[in-house]
């Protein structure tokens, strides 16, 4: 099993969710996060004073999937979240030892 984590632009979140759902992903954890990469921040002006705002808002998606599905899920995320402009985000994959479904106690494959 793998944990797929994606940090994407907020306006792409709905597209990514739809594409994953169509593919068959049944659930995910989503959070509103902020950070920066090469994109850096942006400038805001309040009463004439310019502020460089370092952090930009992003959406983080976390999904645990079976090993066989990892490449497809990553490909779908990258394809649907892509705008081609700086600040599109990142997707990364990490190994997962154990998953337990709280309601039933099912483990691993049965719990995904």
Partner 1 sequence: MDTGDTAWVLTSAALVLLMTPGLALFYGGLVRSKSVLNMMMMSFSSLALITVLWVLYGYSLAFGDDLGGGLLGNPTDFWGLQGLMDAESLVFTVPSLAFVGFQAVFAIITVALISGAIADRARFGPWLLFSGIWATVVYFPVAHWVFAFDAATGVDFVGGWIANDLAALDFAGGTAVHINAGAAGLALALVLGKRKGFAKDPMRPHNLPLVMLGAGLLWFGWFGFNAGSALGANGLAAAAWVNTLAATAAAALGWLLTERIRDGHATSLGAASGVVAGLVAITPACAAVNPMGALAIGLVAGILCALAVGLKYRFGYDDSLDVVGVHLVGGLWGTLSIGLFAVLNAPGAFDNEGLIAGGGFSLLGKQAVGAFAVLAFSFVMTLIIGFAIQKTIGFRLDEESEVEGIDGVEHAESAYDFTGGGGGSLSGHGHLPTATTATTTLASKGRTS
Query: Using CB under 8 A as the criterion, which residues of the chain lie in contact with partner 1 when the complex forms?
Result: 44-53
- Nearest CB to partner 1, comparing residues 50 and 97: 50
Q: How far is the CB of 28 from partner 1 (least distance, A)?
A: 17
Q: How far is the CB of 51 from partner 1 (least distance, A)?
A: 4
Q: Whole-angstrom Cα distance, residue 36 to residue 58?
A: 9
Q: How far is the CB of 58 from partner 1 (least distance, A)?
A: 17
- Nearest CB to partner 1, comparing residues 52 and 97: 52
68-76: long-range pairs with CB below 8 Å, 24+:
70/2, 70/4, 72/23, 73/4, 73/20, 73/23, 73/25, 74/4, 76/16, 76/19, 76/20, 76/23
- Nearest CB to partner 1, comparing residues 46 and 97: 46
Report helix, strand or coil for 96.
Answer: coil
């Amino acid at each position: 099993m793998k944990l797929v984590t994606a940090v994407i632009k907020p306006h792409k979140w709905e597209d990514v969710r739809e594409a994953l759902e169509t593919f068959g992903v049944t659930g995910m954890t989503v959070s509103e996060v902020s950070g920066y990469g090469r994109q850096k921040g942006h400038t805001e002006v309040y009463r004439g004073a310019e502020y460089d705002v370092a952090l930009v808002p992003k959406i983080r998606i976390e999904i645990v999937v079976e090993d066989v599905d990892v490449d497809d899920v990553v490909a779908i995320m990258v394809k649907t979240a892509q705008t081609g402009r700086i600040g599109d985000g990142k997707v990364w994959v990490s190994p997962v030892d154990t998953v337990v479904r709280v309601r039933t106690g099912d483990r691993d494959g049965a719990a995904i």
